[in-house]
């Protein structure tokens, strides 16, 4: 007899028991399994992120609770990236300051943004 709900609940087994995920499931592209990921902490290809999304997300939440991982900036060659991130942060803060009608803070932020823009033009 065919169970109508078995296919529906197959996708939720990671949610119910994240540590006992069906480890025999393989990535159709590279052939790696979730147990391979648990063993060495590496996924084989971009398709693995889709195939093992649920259990990998749960594992990462256990490792990094309530944090957003933005990556590491190389110490020697990351100055441009650091400057770009600072620029984006200042733009967001400027927008918030204008929205809150805090024009004194907005003026300071605008000055910092212009300094960064001038520095980039010189490079």
Render pLDDT for 88-123 as a digit per residue (tens, 0 to 9): 999 999 999 999 999 999 999 999 999 999 888 876
User: Which residues contact residue 32 at a Cβ distance below 8 angstroms, ignoring those fewer than 6 apart?
Assistant: 26, 43, 44, 45, 48
State the chain's mean pLDDT as an integer.
77
User: What pLDDT, in 10s, does the model give residues 73-85?
Assistant: 666 667 788 888 8
Domain borders along the chain are 8-63, 79-122
Per-residue pLDDT band at 36 (split at 50, 70, 90):
confident
């Amino acid at each position: 007899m065919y169970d109508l709900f078995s296919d529906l609940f197959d996708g939720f087994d990671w949610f119910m028991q994240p540590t006992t995920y069906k480890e025999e499931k393989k990535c159709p592209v590279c052939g790696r399994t979730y147990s391979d990921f648990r063993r060495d902490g590496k996924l084989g290809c971009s398709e693995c992120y889709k195939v093992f999304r649920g259990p990998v997300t749960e594992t990462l939440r256990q490792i990094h609770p309530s944090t957003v991982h933005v990556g590491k900036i190389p110490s020697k060659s990351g100055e441009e990236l650091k400057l770009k991130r600072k620029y984006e942060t200042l733009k967001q803060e400027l927008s918030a300051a204008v929205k809150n009608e805090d024009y004194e803070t907005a003026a300071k932020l605008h000055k910092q943004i212009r300094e960064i823009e001038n520095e980039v033009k010189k490079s």
